[in-house]
Amino acid sequence: MLLTVVTYFRYKQFMYKALVTGGTQGIGLAIAKHLQQHGYEVITCARNSNATLKCDVTDRLQVHQMREMTGPVDILINNAGGAVSAPFLKLTEPDWDQQFQWNLKSVFYCTQEYLPAMLEKKWGRIINIASTAGKKGYAYVTAYSAAKHAVIGLTRALAQETAIHGVTVNAVCPSFVDTPMLQKSVEPISRKTGKSVEEIMETFRAHNPQKRFITPEEVASAVLFLIETPAVNGQAISLCGGETV
């Protein structure tokens, strides 16, 4: 009897289709693998050809074309994004605009494309991968922090609109995650400050009371929790070892 119940549960889960943007490395890849392991059908998109679909989610036309190819999805994980490190007074307007395009407009484009079918079905999950930078801010990533603050605001506001329709909208806010993106963001800081990469990494670790980086797998576990817990809505859940308490 137990085997029958488990089999039915997994089959029922597989009926749910998830799209993970930026799903070929780091956090996105970990989320995609974790959901597949738990029986979900997963589509990944990214600007490179390693994804299920090649799509630049900062281009509204490409996002529209992707939605026409995938059809509706039940779960949208807005993970694509990136950070540019620079002192505020050296931050250029193109860099500022790019950070909002990567981290905020991509969420706007994808959510507007995939939300209507969720509302019609009366079931859906939208999970935005934000950051503790969207809650407290960090030096040298002003534009990134501002964009992630906006993502959290979008999350909270949209959750109020969609709650009655069976669609939850939440954000996961990790602190520094051990990914290639972190390494990439540290290198220019190292060049500009003269500090070694390891010195800077140690400074980043020190922000976390547990003195460690968050793993991509921890973010993936939080995403699965939000998918399977309908009572949680409009939340920005921190994964930071207590940093934002």
pLDDT of residue 89: 96
pLDDT of residue 42: 97
Encode pLDDT of 6-31 as tens digits. 333 344 444 799 999 999 999 999 99
CA nearest to 45, candidates 31, 24, 62, 65: 24
pLDDT of residue 154: 98
pLDDT of residue 5: 35
pTM: 0.90
Mean pLDDT in residue range 183-206: 82
Beta strands per DSSP E along 91-228? 124-129, 167-174
- Confidence bin at 169 (pLDDT 50/70/90): very high
Encode pLDDT of 100-113 as tens digits. 999 999 999 999 99
Which residues are catalytic, by number? Answer: 144
Mean pLDDT in residue range 190-217: 88
Contacts of 47 (CB under 8 A, 6+ apart): 54, 55, 56
**Mean pLDDT across the chain:** 91
User: CATH 3.40.50.10490: does it fit domain 2-176+216-239?
Assistant: no
